Amino acid sequence: MKLRYVGIVWLVLRLNAIGQANPNGTIIVVNASQNELVIAADSRENGTHSYDDRDCKISTFGDKFVFVASGRVGLRNHPSSAFWDSHAIAKKEFSRLIRKSTANNLTATVLVTAWGMATKEEIEKRIAHPRAPLLAGLDGNVVVQGLFGRIGKDGHSDIALAKIRYELVGNKALIELADPHEFGLDEFPYFLGRGEAIANASNTQKRDVQTKALVSNDPTATLAIEMVRFTIDYLPPDHTDSNGRPFSVVGYPISAVKLTSKGVEWVEEGNCPQP
- pLDDT value at residue 22: 37
Three-state secondary structure call for residue 152: coil
Q: Which fold has domain 2-268?
A: Glutamine Phosphoribosylpyrophosphate, subunit 1, domain 1 (3.60.20)
pLDDT tens digit sequence for 156-184: 899 999 999 999 888 788 999 999 999 99
- pLDDT value at residue 35: 92
pTM score: 0.89
Written as tens digits, the pLDDT of the chain (275 aa) is: 333 344 334 434 433 432 333 346 899 999 999 899 999 999 998 877 889 999 999 999 988 999 999 998 976 766 556 678 999 999 999 999 999 887 778 999 999 999 999 999 999 988 866 556 678 777 889 999 999 999 987 888 999 999 999 998 887 889 999 999 999 999 999 999 999 999 999 999 999 999 999 999 999 999 999 999 999 999 999 899 989 999 999 999 999 999 999 999 999 999 998 76
- For residue 27, count CB atoms less than 10 angstroms from its CB and return exposed for 0-12, middle for 13-18, buried for 19 or more: buried
Distance, CA of 196 to CA of 199 (rounded, Å)? 5
Distance, CA of 121 to CA of 116 (rounded, Å)? 9
CB atoms within 10 A of CB 143: 23
- pLDDT value at residue 115: 98
- pLDDT value at residue 220: 97
Beta bridge partners of 264: 259
Beta bridge partners of 147: 68, 161
Q: Are 62 and 49 in contact (CB under 8 A)?
A: no
- pLDDT value at residue 47: 77
**Of 223, 199, 198, which Cα lies nearest the Cα of 210?**
223
Q: How are beta strands 172-177 and 157-169 bridged, if at all?
A: antiparallel
Distance, CA of 256 to CA of 254 (rounded, Å)? 7
The helix-helix angle for 219-234 and 203-214 (nearest 10°) equals 150
Q: Rounded to a whole number, what is the distance in angstroms from the first to the last CA of the chain?
A: 34
CB atoms within 10 A of CB 123: 21
